[in-house]
Amino acid sequence: MSSDPDAPSPQTRGPLRSFGRIKSRALKPRQAALFDTLLPAIAVPDPAAGPIDPQAMMPEAKAVWLEIGFGGGEHLAEQASRHPETLMIGCEPFLNGVGSALRHVDERGLKNVRLHGDDARDVMAALPDGSLDRVMILFPDPWHKARHNKRRLVQDEFAAEIVRLLKPGGRLRFVTDWKDYADWALERFERTPGLEWTADRADDWRGAPADHVVTRYEEKKLGDTAPIFLDFVRV
């Protein structure tokens, strides 16, 4: 038997969990109500039921974006508001974050958002090749202790899956405020065939891109460095 407490049992399926808590405080009454009224109408189809067709979710969509770990949903909602012709798929296992995103969607009357309140990797596995125009990963759980690095979302297999999903010319953005995670992610993305880092100078990763949306999490400055922005293109 393995002595590693983080090692999965033989019965465990799928990758190690890459996120921390699932729920903290009780949901506010309005958010709880939106789980019953709004979420069923905008939920991503259950990936366990078979392949997911983005076109079926929004036939008129001109592009499809995926945000992995949308936190409180501020970034997802703002990008959806700016790009109403784009289908925004958001995945977030933290239930309070899903509740917050539902509130943003409801208040803004957004029609182009679809949510999955669980592991994004399940949705990714059900999406067809070349179905995404953009993938966004903002401030994922850093798992900064060395013995927990294996739980980080960004692994070689995950990077290869992003390449499978992106259309040629599609974009990937990874943002973190932990320097070690930035180095870790850059190393894995750069060695993944099909991804090309777009940076030419230091300012390209030190400064926020023009289309970046600052969230409440980012303002808390919980990491050990200013945000590092890594943008890649699918070649």
For 217, the 3-state DSSP assignment is helix
141 is catalytic: yes
pTM value? 0.89
Q: Which CATH superfamily is domain 30-44+54-234 in?
A: Vaccinia Virus protein VP39 (3.40.50.150)
The answer to whether 196 is annotated as binding is no
Cβ atoms within 10 A of the Cβ of 153, count?
Answer: 23
The verdict on whether residue 179 carries a ligand-binding annotation is: no
How far apart, in whole angstroms, are the C-alpha atoms of residue 56 and residue 210?
31
DSSP state of 86: E
Q: Check residue 28 and give its pLDDT.
A: 87
pLDDT, tens digit (0-9, with 9 covering 90-100), for 25-77: 788 899 999 999 999 999 999 999 999 999 999 999 999 999 999 999 999 99
As a whole number of angstroms, the distance between CA 163 and CA 107 comes to 34
- Is the pLDDT at 12 greater than 50, yes or no? no
What is the band of 9 on the pLDDT scale with cuts at 50, 70, 90?
very low
Phi, psi values for residue 57, rounded to 5°? -75, -35
3-state SS assignment for residue 43: strand
For 156, the enclosing helix (H) or strand (E) is helix 156-165
67 has binding-site annotation: yes
What is residue 16's predicted lDDT score, i.e. its pLDDT?
A: 58
Question: How far, in Å, CA of 80 to CA of 22, rounded?
Answer: 24
**Angle at CA of residue 158, ends 156 and 163, nearest 5°:** 95
23 is in an annotated binding site: no
Q: Which of 183, 135, 196 is nearest to 161 (CA)?
A: 135
Q: Out of 133, 141, 200, 224, which one is annotated catalytic?
A: 141
φ, ψ dihedrals at 66, nearest 5°: -125, 125
Contact 113, 83 (CB under 8 A): no
